[in-house]
A and B are shown apart, each in its own frame.
Chain A
C-alpha cells in the first residue's frame, strides 16, 4: 500500500526540500521503495540536494503532460537502489500541473512504491495545492518563529479543507517537524521553544532538527544529510523517520550543547 506524504510549510525557506530529501533517503535506507517528487516547478531544488541535477533529462511536468513516460523521467539515486527522484522542470510554470495529470502519475507510482514523498513549493497557491491535494499524511515543516508558525497553521487549515481526503470528509494525518532549532537562541528568548510551537499548532511532534552546518555541507555535496550519520541533523532526521514508522525514540538536541570549534567560529 503506497502512502502519499506531503512536506509542506506555507512559508518559504524553512527546510521543506532538505526534509524531503532526508525523509525519502531515511525511508529508503530502511528498505522501503521510495520516490520523492519535486512540486516546486520553476525553481528546481530537490535534484541539487539529492545530487542528481546532471542526470535530469525529462521531468515531472513532461510526465504530467504525457510528453514522456515515468520510466524516462525517474532518476535512480546514486547510492540507494530503492530510491528514485522525479525532478521538477525549471522552464515551465506551476500551472503546467493539473489535478488529473498529477493523479494519473501518482496512481502509476503507487503500483511500484511504498512511499511517495511530495516536496511542496512555498505559499498557498496552485503549486502548493497540487502538492497537498492527494496527500494522506503531511509533515508540516516549521521554524521556531512566529511567522513560520502562523503560516504552518494556515497550511494545516488548507490541508484539512482543500485536500481530496478533506473534501471526502476525512482528515489528513498531521506531523509537526520543527527545523533549524537553535536551543541557544530559544534560551535567549529570540526564538519560540518546542513547547510554545506545539501548544500553538496542536499537532503531534514528529521531531526537532537542530540548526546545523551539516545541512549546508550536505546540500553543497548533493548528499542528503541522513547519510552523515555522525551529524546532529542527520541523526535527528533518522530519529524522526524512525518515529514516523512507529518506533518510540526520545527527542534529542533540545538543549544547549557545548560549543564546538566551528560553532565558535561561525557563531551558533
Chain B
C-alpha cells in the first residue's frame, strides 16, 4: 500500500475576523499596536480573515496585509469582498469566504479547546489558551493569563486575567480566591490598584452590556 501523495481531510478551525471601522491605514496601525500591547501572546502569527465591508476596491490591500503581518496577524482570507476585489485577492493569494456576517460565534456549534495548566503560574510568566483556560493552582501577582474563551482558576488569582481576548463577549472568569490586579473580558478591563482587605472568596466575572460584573459566589 502506498499512501497518496496528497490527501484531504475535512476540518474546521476557529478563525478570527479583523473588522475595520475606517479606511485610514495610520488609524488602523495605531489600533493594531494598541491591541498587540494588550495581548502580546495573542498577536503571535494569529491567522485571521479581513472583513473588507467598509473598504473600497481601490484601497491598497497589499499594504493592509503587510501592516497586519508586521503586528503578528496573518491574513489568510477575506469576507464581504465584491467582484471588484478579485484581482487583488488573486495577486495576494487570499481566500474568499464570501458574504458572511463576521459575528458567527463558532463555539456554539463546536466544542472549544480547553487548556489545563497544572501548577502555579508565577510572577513574570504568561499563559495563553486559544480556547478555555483552566489553572490547577494559583496565579501570582505579576503573572498574566489570557484565553480566547473562559478562564477558571482553582486557586487564588492575584495576577492579571484576560478572557475573551478575541472578542468573545460571553466569556467568563472564575476563581476560588479573588485578589486580581486586573481582569478583562473582550477588551473591557478593570484594574484593582488597591489591594482588597483579605480573603475575597470565590468570584465570577462576566460582561453584561459592556459592564464588567464581579459576583461573589
Which residues from chain A sit less than 8 Å from chain B, CB to CB? 150, 153-154, 156-158, 160-161, 199-200, 202
Could you name 28 residue pairs across A and B whose Cβ atoms are closer than 8 Å? A150-B123, A150-B141, A150-B142, A153-B122, A153-B123, A153-B140, A153-B141, A153-B142, A154-B122, A154-B123, A154-B124, A154-B142, A156-B122, A157-B121, A157-B122, A157-B124, A157-B125, A157-B140, A157-B143, A158-B124, A160-B119, A160-B122, A199-B156, A200-B140, A200-B141, A200-B158, A202-B120, A202-B138
Give chain B nearest CB distance to A181 CB in angstroms. 21
Minimal Cβ-Cβ distance residue in B for A157: B122
Q: Which residues of B in the span 106-152 have a Cβ within 8 Å of any Cβ on A?
A: 119-125, 137-138, 140-143
Question: Roughly how many angstroms separate A203 CA and B3 CA in the complex, as a whole number?
Answer: 53
Minimal Cβ-Cβ distance residue in B for A201: B140
Give chain B nearest CB distance to A9 CB in angstroms. 13
In the complex, what residues of A have CB within 8 A of residue B142's CB? 150, 153-154
- 19 new A-B pairs (CB below 8 Å) besides A150-B142, A157-B143? A150-B123, A150-B141, A153-B140, A154-B122, A154-B123, A154-B124, A157-B121, A157-B122, A157-B123, A157-B124, A157-B125, A157-B140, A160-B119, A161-B125, A199-B156, A200-B141, A200-B158, A202-B120, A202-B138
Question: Roughly how many angstroms separate A150 CA and B143 CA in the complex, as a whole number?
Answer: 11
In the complex, what residues of A have CB within 8 A of residue B141's CB? 150, 153, 200
In the complex, what residues of B have CB within 8 A of residue A199's CB? 156
In the complex, what residues of A have CB within 8 A of residue B138's CB? 202
List 9 tightest A-B contacts by C-beta distance, closest first.
A157-B122, A153-B123, A154-B123, A154-B124, A153-B140, A157-B125, A153-B122, A156-B122, A157-B124
Give chain B nearest CB distance to A95 CB in angstroms. 22
Question: Roughly how many angstroms separate A202 CA and B141 CA in the complex, as a whole number?
Answer: 13
Give chain B nearest CB distance to A107 CB in angstroms. 29
Encoded as 1 (CB less than 8 Å from any A CB) or 0, chain B from 137 to 176 comes to 1101111000000000000101000000000000000000
In the complex, what residues of B have CB within 8 A of residue A160's CB? 119, 122
Question: Roughly how many angstroms separate A202 CA and B119 CA in the complex, as a whole number?
Answer: 11
Question: Roughly how many angstroms separate A200 CA and B137 CA in the complex, as a whole number?
Answer: 12
Give chain A nearest CB distance to B26 CB in angstroms. 38
Give chain B nearest CB distance to A56 CB in angstroms. 35
Question: Roughly how many angstroms separate A161 CA and B124 CA in the complex, as a whole number?
Answer: 11
Question: Roughly how many angstroms separate A150 CA and B141 CA in the complex, as a whole number?
Answer: 8
Q: Which residues of B in the span 37-94 have a Cβ within 8 Å of any Cβ on A?
A: none
Give chain A nearest CB distance to B81 CB in angstroms. 44
In the complex, what residues of A have CB within 8 A of residue B120's CB? 202
Give chain B nearest CB distance to A31 CB in angstroms. 35
Give chain A nearest CB distance to B120 CB in angstroms. 6
In the complex, what residues of B have CB within 8 A of residue A150's CB? 123, 141-142
Minimal Cβ-Cβ distance residue in B for A158: B124
Minimal Cβ-Cβ distance residue in B for A203: B120
Question: Roughly how many angstroms separate A202 CA and B143 CA in the complex, as a whole number?
Answer: 15
In the complex, what residues of A have CB within 8 A of residue B124's CB? 154, 157-158
Give chain B nearest CB distance to A125 CB in angstroms. 13
In the complex, what residues of B have CB within 8 A of residue A157's CB? 121-125, 140, 143
In the complex, what residues of A have CB within 8 A of residue B156's CB? 199
In the complex, what residues of B have CB within 8 A of residue A154's CB? 122-124, 142
In the complex, what residues of A have CB within 8 A of residue B140's CB? 153, 157, 200
Minimal Cβ-Cβ distance residue in B for A171: B119
Give chain B nearest CB distance to A126 CB in angstroms. 17
